[in-house]
A and B are shown apart, each in its own frame.
Chain A
Amino acid sequence: QVQLVESGGGVVQPGRSLRLSCAASGFTFSNYGMHWVRQAPGKGLEWVAVIWYDGSNKYYGDSMKDRFTISRDNSKNTLWLQMNSLRADDTAVYYCAKDRWGRWELPSPYFDSWGQGTLVTVSS
């Protein structure tokens, strides 16, 4: 079955950087787009970024543009999120999520599998 395991969260000072990882298994990673979604404490879900199955296209939420970079290595079945110039309002649980829209499939863009999340706390 699909398994997504995030890591790399922790406490970081404002202005610093952090890189999150998501190890994927149980499916052909190279055939699916992947997302990062975050949730601030006690708040709703916020979409962060998507990367296409082959890494050819990347899209970001407005408040993450220019600070966050999504990337992947299909040979390692791993997804990353590089976060720079972190701010207090970036404090959240960050989830890795798989897109149902596969390389060889008709469009059906939704999040069909989620990791358990990794907590990022931005604080001095």
Chain B
Amino acid sequence: QSALTQPASVSGSPGQSITISCTGTISDVGGYNFVSWYQQHPGKAPKVMIYDVTNRPSGVSNRFTGSKSGNTASLTISGLQAEDEADYYCASYTSSSTRVFGTGTKVTVL
């Protein structure tokens, strides 16, 4: 049950787009369309930004989009804003009926 692999950090200037990758295996990311993404600001609980690979919950900005190809899922943030600076985690359902998180990515707005 290894953690999904994410880049440790990604940065961009305001208005730019950034993409965070999340790599797993056929037993998790590649096997199901059940990848979700969470935003976490310091000292706060995580908040879901994307679920089922591409879906946005009500109230989440359409600047956040999700996708998947094979065993790798991606979160793209377009029109980067200062408030987007946070930690981001992917998560996936697994073939063992468990869940697994990604290693986490710190997004910095330059």
Interface residues of A (CB under 8 A from B): 35, 37, 44-47, 50, 57, 59-62, 95, 100, 107-112, 114-117
Contact = CB atoms under 8 A, between A and B. Distances in A.
B18 interface: no
A35 B99 CA distance: 10
27 contacts: A37-B101, A44-B3, A44-B102, A45-B40, A45-B46, A45-B91, A45-B101, A45-B104, A47-B98, A50-B97, A50-B98, A50-B99, A57-B97, A59-B98, A61-B1, A61-B98, A62-B1, A107-B34, A108-B52, A109-B34, A109-B93, A110-B48, A110-B52, A111-B36, A112-B48, A114-B47, A115-B45
Instruction: Bin chain B's interface residue count.
Output: 20 to 34
A62 B40 CA distance: 24
Contacts, number: 65
Given A95-B46, A108-B51, A114-B46, 12 more contacts: A37-B46, A37-B101, A44-B3, A44-B104, A47-B91, A47-B101, A61-B1, A95-B45, A107-B34, A109-B99, A110-B36, A115-B45
* A interface: dominant SS: strand
